[in-house]
Amino acid sequence: MDRKKITPVDIQAMKKEGKKITMLTAYDYPMALLEDRAGIDIILVGDSLGMTVLGYENTLPVTMDEMIHHTKAVTRGAKYALIIGDMPFMSYNTSERDAIINAGRFMKEAGADAVKLEGGITVKDIVKALVKAGIPVMGHIGLTPQTISMLGGFKVQGKDAEGAQKIIDDAVQLEDAGAFSVLLEAVPAPIAKRITERLNVPTIGIGAGVHCDGQVLVVHDMLGLFDRFTPKFAKRYVNLSELMLNAFESYREEVSKGTFPTDQHSFHIDEKELSKIK
Ligand code: KIV
Q: Does the pLDDT at position 229 exceed 80?
A: no
Give the least confident one: 2-16, 59-73, 151-165, 180-194: 151-165
* Alpha-carbon distances, residue 217 vs 12, 190, 223 (angstroms): 20, 20, 10
Residues of the chain with CATH 3.20.20.60: 8-239
pLDDT tens string 75-107: 999 999 999 999 999 999 999 999 999 999 999
| 70 C-beta neighbours (distance < 10 Å), count | 25
Query: What proportion of the chain, given as a percentage, has pLDDT over 90?
Result: 93
218 CA distance to ligand 1 middle (Å): 6
| 45 C-beta neighbours (distance < 10 Å), count | 29
8-239 classified as CATH 3.20.20.150:
no
pLDDT tens string 131-149: 999 999 999 999 999 998 8
| Residue 14 near residue 39, CB atoms below 8 Å | no
What are residue 217's DSSP bridge partners? 24
Query: Peptide bond preceding 261: is omega within 30 degrees of 0, i.e. cis?
Result: yes
| 85 C-beta neighbours (distance < 10 Å), count | 32
270 CA distance to ligand 1 middle (Å): 56
pLDDT band at 154 (very low <50, low <70, confident <90, very high): confident
* Alpha-carbon distances, residue 129 vs 104, 120, 224 (angstroms): 12, 14, 38
Nearest residue (by CA) to ligand 1, atom 2, is: 46
Of the CA atoms within 13 Å of residue 95, those in its CB half-sphere come to 3
118 CA distance to ligand 1 middle (Å): 10
Q: Does the pLDDT at position 1 exceed 80?
A: no
- Identify the residues whose C-beta falls under 6 Å from ligand 1: 25, 44, 46-48, 86, 140, 185, 206, 216, 218
Q: Report the residue among 84, 106, 183 best suited for mutation to probe ligand 1: largest number of ligand atoms under 8 A from its CB.
A: 183
Mean pLDDT in residue range 29-40: 98
pLDDT tens string 235-258: 999 999 999 999 999 999 999 999
